[in-house]
Amino acid sequence: MHLTMPTSVVEGTQLTVMPFRDDAVVGTMAVPTLVQLVPSPRAEEDPRKLKAASGLVRRHAELRATVQRTLKSSQKGKNVGPYAEYIAAGLKGELGAAWSTPPITLWHAGPLAALSEELVPGTGLRTLTVAPGTMVVAIDGETQTTAWHDLYDDPEAYGLTYSQLAQVRIPFELYVDLAPADARQIFYDRNVQGVAVAKNLAMSMDQRDFGTRLAHLVADSVRIDVDGQRVPFARLVNVSKRQLSAGDREVVTLSALRALVVTTLYGRGGLARSAESVHEDELPAGARPEQVEAAVVPILGDLIVRHAREFAERGAITAPAVLAGLGIAVHPTMPWSDSGAVFRMDDLLRLLDGIRWEREAKYWDGVAAKTGSSGRLNFSGGVKDSGGRVADAILYPATEAGRQIRDL
């Protein structure tokens, strides 16, 4: 007996939508559909849950981290509970008609599995299919997405039932097959006018910003050894936080790497630009974008490789103020520098060779960090506050700070 194999049928989640541009659609979906398509952002930030999660969920978490800020310990995260209660009150009729939730902005990372012809000619309505395993990320409306997850995980806690939630339609807009850089740009554009995002974090999401683009190019240009494995440095750069926590797998933030790039470009003047946009028409006199890229990317990439161990161990070199100071020290080697002195890369490398990069008070207290009452060394000082002191310590070994960071 021979069974006839089925013909090719596209499987997945079907949504009725209306395109509003050639790579984006709008529509509504049910709550169960949302929680199935978009994993819980809170769960993706829980190291224990993520360790036990499937490879698909872990890959989704990595992709989400490239275009979203974190929920944990942020105002956005604190708003999830009240938002869920607000939605529940609205669904139960307690708020009358005076309540609403904005459309959630989703990013479909990759092409669609299928898109139908118009369901009714002239209406624009179509059916699209999201294939199983496709990465769908909320790039705006993530607080609301997390609130829907909370409601669906335990509706009784909010005075609701699954049947009530199943009747709800959630409006959404879906951007299809965008590059990660474009998705980050949408995050920036939506949030810079909305709930306040830390300014340097917002800059690190702005793909129109020349400093941000250079920082990504630097991160993408090199690989370093971590625990015996050679990994792209970009995987060790956190794009969604201002400061790293102990449980993060990354070793440096994108905003800190951007500070290194900007001070390399402008020298000490770059300290004031660490939280400001850098446009191509504002580059140092006589410098063209392609010239800047050709000079900055290989030099900073080489420095990262030379100090790969210090980066992998999260040494002092990963602190934003230290990277900013390092950029000031690199600046005189740039062809557009007006420092007046002949300063070659070999000169800089000799200055860097003797520096102690361990995060210890005897090297960095008072230079890039402060020792608190508990005795713990804190590197949270800002780029503007400490970047100049770090640069002086690097460039002038005979000074008190210069001797301190070299343990002389």
The residue written with tokens 């659609």 in the block is 25
What's the average pLDDT block by block, 10 residues per block, for the chain (408 residues)?
Answer: 67 92 95 93 81 82 79 73 93 91 93 89 91 90 93 95 95 94 84 58 71 93 88 89 82 93 94 86 88 95 95 93 95 86 84 94 91 79 88 95 93
pLDDT at 198: 62
Q: What's residue 197's pLDDT?
A: 58
3-state secondary structure of 169: strand
> How far, in Å, CA of 377 to CA of 391, rounded?
20
Ranges of each domain in the chain: 13-192, 199-404
pLDDT reported for residue 54? 83
Q: E strand or H helix at 17, and its extent?
A: strand 13-21
Could you give the 3-state DSSP secondary structure of residue 385?
A: helix
What is the predicted pLDDT for the residue at 206?
Answer: 72
Stated pTM of the model: 0.63
Q: Which residue in 203, 207, 211, 251 sits closest to 227, CA to CA?
A: 251
Q: Which two tokens stand for residue 359?
A: 């995060």
pLDDT value at residue 7: 64
pLDDT at 14: 93
Q: What are phi and psi of 353, to 5 degrees?
A: -60, -35
Q: What is the pLDDT of residue 194?
A: 53
How far apart, in Å, do the first and last CA atoms of the chain sit? 85
- Residue 70: enclosing H or E segment and its boundaries? none
Quote the DSSP letter at residue 373.
T
- Give the DSSP H or E segment for 174: strand 169-176
